[in-house]
């Protein structure tokens, strides 16, 4: 069987010879570099970000453990943070939803079409509404209602599911609940959220109502990693749609659905293909 390709993400202080060091390491193990992107961020006195895709076929280090062991000395020498992933091991992804189905339906359709490099074992929801949509795709739907007097219990149940299913990415596909700092601390994987406004405009609840009241001529959506501060995590992707005085709040909601699903799908796709690195509160996206 042909092995998958490897995606290598590196992040370290910038200095001369980094590309040579990494590409020599790869050449030494007879690897072929299929794609390479680099970026030097001015933050922290110069920080180097690299993404390489190495052809698995013919490469001497197609096992993740072997790669890590062989790469560690080089990484230590240059102060590198790195991670490597294999294109034949799609990330195990959990979707969290509430009652609105547009982002969910879109992600599941793309999943079925093979657009998403993921394995989706579970969809979790605080409502039972979207069960049929999920089960039609042969995916397990888990209803975890929230007890307002004990929200922590539901979050603990989610964490346990993530653990059981070895979840590597959680996607809030209009989940509508604020995750507690405790949950985020304990969560074993990154969490991507779609916020239905052009952040940082209209943080918080009812952004379309806020947008209509302000009389904006464009509405937007923002996909970002979730951090403890509400709607303030690193932004992955944003897009917008033009609106006019004729559009009511309901029209904004309808038009916004189109933008939200597109923006979320793009962000998730990029994450699944290891195209995103974190640079402080900003993202480096090798699109």
Contacts with a copy of itself, residue ranges (CB under 8 A): 15-20, 23-24, 26-27, 30-42, 58, 101-102, 105, 109, 113, 115, 132, 136, 198-202, 214-218, 220, 234-240, 244-246, 248, 254, 257-258, 262, 279, 281-285, 287
Least distance in Å: CB of 207 to a copy of itself? 11
Which residues have CB under 8 Å from 152's CB, separation 6+?
180, 182
Nearer to a copy of itself, 59 or 161 (CB): 59
Nearer to a copy of itself, 61 or 167 (CB): 61
Structural contact between residues 30 and 59, judged by C-beta atoms closer than 8 angstroms: yes
Nearer to a copy of itself, 162 or 220 (CB): 220
Measured distance between the N- and C-terminal CA atoms of the chain, rounded to whole angstroms: 29
- Which string of b and e fits 119-131 if b means at least 16 CB within 10 Å? bbebbbbbeeebe
Least distance in Å: CB of 59 to a copy of itself? 10
Alpha-carbon span 176 to 178, nearest angstrom: 7
Least distance in Å: CB of 208 to a copy of itself? 14
* Two structure tokens written together for 97: 């939803």
Least distance in Å: CB of 65 to a copy of itself? 24
Nearer to a copy of itself, 187 or 216 (CB): 216
Torsion, Cα 185 97 138 120, to 10 degrees, reads -30
∠ CA 48-272-115, nearest 5°, is: 135
Phi-psi region of 215 (alpha: psi -120 to 50; beta: other; left: phi over 0): left
The catalytic site residues sit at 231
Structural contact between residues 224 and 235, judged by C-beta atoms closer than 8 angstroms: yes
∠ CA 182-92-134, nearest 5°, is: 95
Structural contact between residues 234 and 270, judged by C-beta atoms closer than 8 angstroms: no
Count other C-beta atoms under 10 Å from residue 117's C-beta: 19
Phi-psi region of 266 (alpha: psi -120 to 50; beta: other; left: phi over 0): alpha
Nearer to a copy of itself, 94 or 235 (CB): 235
Q: Which residue carries 């790669």 as its tokens?
A: 67
Least distance in Å: CB of 234 to a copy of itself? 6
Least distance in Å: CB of 231 to a copy of itself? 11
Nearer to a copy of itself, 129 or 154 (CB): 129
């Amino acid at each position: 069987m042909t092995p998958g390709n490897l995606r290598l993400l590196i992040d370290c202080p910038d200095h001369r010879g980094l590309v040579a060091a990494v590409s020599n390491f790869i050449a030494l193990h007879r690897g072929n570099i299929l794609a390479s992107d680099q970026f030097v961020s001015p933050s922290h006195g110069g920080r180097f970000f690299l993404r390489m895709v190495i052809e698995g076929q013919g490469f001497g280090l197609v096992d993740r453990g072997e790669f890590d062991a062989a790469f560690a000395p080089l990484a230590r020498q240059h102060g590198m943070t790195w991670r490597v992933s294999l294109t034949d091991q799609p990330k195990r992804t959990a979707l969290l939803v509430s009652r609105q189905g547009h982002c969910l339906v879109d992600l599941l359709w793309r999943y079925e079409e093979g657009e998403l490099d993921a394995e989706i074992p579970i969809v979790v929801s605080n409502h039972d509404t979207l069960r049929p949509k999920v089960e039609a795709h042969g995916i397990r739907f888990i209803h975890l209602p929230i007890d307002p007097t004990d929200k922590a219990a539901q979050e603990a149940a989610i964490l346990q599911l993530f653990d059981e299913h070895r979840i590597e990415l959680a996607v809030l596909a209009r989940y509508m609940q604020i995750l507690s700092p405790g949950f985020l601390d304990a969560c074993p994987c990154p969490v991507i959220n779609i916020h239905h406004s052009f952040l940082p405009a209209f943080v918080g609840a009812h952004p379309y109502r806020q947008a209509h009241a302000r009389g904006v001529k464009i509405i937007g959506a923002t996909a970002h990693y979730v951090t403890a501060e509400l709607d303030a995590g690193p932004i992955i992707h944003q897009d917008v749609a033009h609106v006019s005085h004729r559009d009511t709040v309901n029209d904004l909601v309808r038009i916004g659905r189109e933008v939200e699903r597109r923006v979320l799908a793009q962000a998730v796709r990029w994450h699944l293909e290891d195209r995103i690195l974190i640079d402080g509160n900003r993202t480096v996206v090798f699109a």
